[in-house]
Structure 1
């Protein structure tokens, strides 16, 4: 049937779902064990959300289900493509994926703490940076005592690696 013969009220809303954190094409979707756990919990939460939807208005329910299903599709793709990295198997004396690092900013002597995690786990407010971030990229393979230089537009920020752990 032509869309011209459908009443406006009968047209379904196409759900607009914001994309997940950017993971460039061809880049492996690394996650920590905690990151995988969080993805699976998010999936369970979305499935529960569908089962708890109000069924009194069928049109609103369909729109809500479509929206949740679109989010589930993006999430499921992340789960299926995820490669969980066992942190205990990482070289303990070197910064790799999953490492918690303590850095000293050379210019200010300020101490910063970060963990290098997957794109879905990254949360700067909790000190978690994505493994594809510029800071993480300059830290990979560094050891305690090494320096890493982050080239910014107006300056080069130099960090000294103070500690590395995978706990």
Structure 2
């Protein structure tokens, strides 16, 4: 039985239309809220001579390059495939770095989630790029041992507001800590 990937992404929540076959999972503004989507391997009817009883036994996924944690809730199940959900993708756009002090030690971080709350921020440098594309790769294995894989683009249009708000959050935390 032949298989093909089906996927969809809805910037307003609720998944997408099955059978939407193309290479772009989404192109969204960084301030988009209520994003959900799925990637699933579906059996496609073939000739009577090709029919098997194969079914999906596992899913695996990866997003590259490394991305900020805490944005996506990602799950995989045999019935739903790989599902992604985010209340907001604010902060999904990469930053250049955050330079901070931790007990007097100068440290550079690639992601805000690496910076302990209450650390003194020396410098925050947002990305100067206007768009950034991550790759979502989903791999499915069938009971016959066949492995299927697809890679989809997740493109984010930059908005500098989330970086500014995150910087203010850290500055306010250090102010509160110092009275």
TM-score, length of structure 1 as denominator length: 0.26
Larger % of helix: which?
A: 1
> Which structure carries more strand by proportion?
2
Q: Which has the larger radius of gyration?
A: 1
